[in-house]
Amino acid sequence: MQQRTIKKPVEVIGIGLHKGEPIKLRLEPLSADAGIVFYREDIAMSIPLSPSSVIDTRMATVIGNEKGFISTIEHFLSAVYAYGIDNLRVVVDGNEMPIMDGSSISFCLLLDEAGIEELDTPKKIISVKRAVEVQEGEKFVRLLPSESATFDFRIKFDHPVIGEQNEKFAFSTSSFIEEIARARTFGFAKDIQYLQSQNLALGATLQNAIGLDDHKILNPEGLRFDNEFAKHKVLDAMGDMMVSGHNILGAYESFAGSHNLNFQLTAKLLSDSKNYELLTVEELESRAFEKSFA
């Protein structure tokens, strides 16, 4: 299996979640071993994708430095993970990615429009060699060695609509598009009201998130999946794992995980060479992982 980029540049305009202003997103091909590189066009600043670039994980995954940042990259990166893209320039003209409909499906459609280009260099992946775990009270995230990429996410909310939910997802590009990509982010009306009083979440609407009051869902169309909340957590986890810069071959498991715990997990995984191997797909003993991108 070879490294991937896109065949042609594509762009789209969407609303930023926090500022509520239009954000232009442009995707451009990059050569082999260039990696995923974000670029703030408005301040002429490049930010390479890696855990060392992460500066905030409280409400979303944010990369940057003291000169500038780009927020809410995880929904886009989950699509990048699913399509197996290794090299890409991601250009925005503001400090956040467009939220689109609150899921990853719009980014999948954008990548479909761009097309996938296979390069002449073998694709490298991170193969988990021993268990790595991060805990915070009863919350945890972990990665375990596995011959396939799987995600098992359990959540528990004291809310009549959510309650306890679980999503067990065996990764493939096609199953991601069918089962995960359309799952939307969600928020509680009382939290949104507070955030907007702090000039945050100004772009949040029922067109780009599932809204909930204390008793029910506020979206008139209802849910896209019975366990859409758990599915979106898998979507987030895939995007957060992609911050490593590579697809990860391993079994991801979580109870009530967060962007912060996911960031700590990728950092801990990469902090010790005994935890993982960086391999070409051809070096894997199993061909199943390669077939998942077909």
Distance CA 11, CA 124 (A): 27
Domain of 267?
125-184+227-291
Specify whether 61 is located in the same domain as 132.
Answer: no
Q: What is the pLDDT of residue 20?
A: 86
- Band (pLDDT 50/70/90 cuts) for residue 272 is very high
74 in a domain, yes or no?
Answer: yes
Q: Are residues 274 and 159 in the same domain?
A: yes
Please check whether residue 113 lies inside any domain of the structure. Answer: yes
Residue 107 shares a structural domain with residue 156: no
pLDDT single digits (tens) 93-134: 999 999 999 999 999 999 999 999 999 999 999 999 999 999
Nearest Cα neighbor of 14 from 102, 116, 115, 143 is 102
Q: What CATH number has the domain bearing residue 82?
A: 3.30.230.20
pLDDT of residue 35: 97
5 three-class SS: strand
pTM above 0.85, yes or no: yes
So what's the pLDDT on residue 174?
A: 97
Residue 194 in this model has a pLDDT that exceeds 80: no
| Judgement on whether residues 109 and 136 belong to the same structural domain of the protein | no
Q: Which of 14-18, 136-140, 167-171, 192-196 has the lowest average pLDDT?
A: 192-196
CATH number at residue 281: 3.30.1700.10
Measured over the CA atoms of residue 220, residue 14, residue 240 and residue 70, the dihedral's sign is: negative
Confidence of residue 80 (pLDDT cuts 50, 70, 90): very high
Compute the average pLDDT of residues 170-186.
Answer: 97
Report the Cα 105 to chain-centroid distance in Å. Answer: 12
* Nearest CA among 87, 89, 43, 92 for reference residue 72: 92
**Average pLDDT score over residue span 272-287:** 91
Q: How far apart are CA 22 and CA 203, in angstroms?
A: 9
pLDDT at 192 over 90: no
In a domain, 26, yes or no: yes
Domain boundary among 78, 98, 122: 122
Residue 57 pLDDT level (bands cut at 50, 70, 90): very high
Do 104 and 146 have their domain in common?
Answer: no
User: 140 with 285, same domain?
Assistant: yes
Contact 236, 258 (CB under 8 A): no
Of the listed 18, 75, 246, 259, which one is catalytic? Answer: 259
How many helices and strands (H and E) does the chain possess?
7, 20
Domains in the chain: how many in total?
2
Active site residue 259: yes
> Do 63 and 149 sit in the same domain of this protein?
no
